[in-house]
């Protein structure tokens, strides 16, 4: 709920259309909020060095949930968020380019190893092709 200012007026609210959320609904569910918080933690752990990727993933997920809130049950939202958390946590492996060796170093976490599954690491893209030349 918005806090009243000292003069007793409430601060103006940003219309949904201006926020890019035309037709979006607010989601008021503790279960969905908990699942979303776990999703945010998974994205923070996976993309710890890339704050922009974290924010983009979180904001797009929330935007999509709000757009489809009327068509999805609370259980469906929680299931989708948990599925997304698992995908981000267990199926995305971050890598960093090693300038001197021109190879990538995969950063495998304890979460990746905890499932006991084989990691299928695909070949990374060619860094020279990514320079946009």
Write out pLDDT tens, residues 9-44. 554 443 444 444 445 556 788 999 999 999 999 999
Q: Which of 52, 50, 46, 56 is nearest to 106 (CA)?
A: 46
Answer whether residue 86 shows pLDDT above 50. yes
Of the pLDDT bands very low, low, confident and very high (cuts 50, 70, 90), residue 128 is: confident
CB neighbours of residue 36 within 10 Å: 21
Adjacent-strand bridge partners of 98: 103
Q: Where are the domains of the chain?
A: 30-114
Lowest-confidence pick of 14-18, 99-103, 126-130: 14-18
* pTM assigned to the model: 0.62
């Amino acid at each position: 709920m918005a806090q009243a200012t000292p003069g007793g007026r409430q601060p103006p609210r940003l219309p949904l259309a201006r926020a890019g959320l035309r037709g979006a609904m607010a989601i008021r569910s503790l279960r969905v909020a908990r699942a979303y918080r776990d999703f945010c933690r998974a994205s923070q752990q996976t993309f710890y060095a890339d704050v922009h990727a974290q924010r983009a993933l979180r904001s797009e997920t929330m935007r999509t949930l709000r757009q489809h809130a009327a068509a999805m049950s609370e259980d469906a939202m929680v299931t989708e968020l948990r599925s997304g958390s698992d995908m981000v946590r267990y199926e995305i492996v971050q890598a960093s380019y090693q300038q001197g060796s021109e190879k990538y170093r995969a950063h495998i976490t304890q979460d990746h190893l905890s499932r006991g599954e084989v990691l299928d690491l695909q070949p990374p893209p060619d860094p020279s092709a990514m320079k946009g030349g």
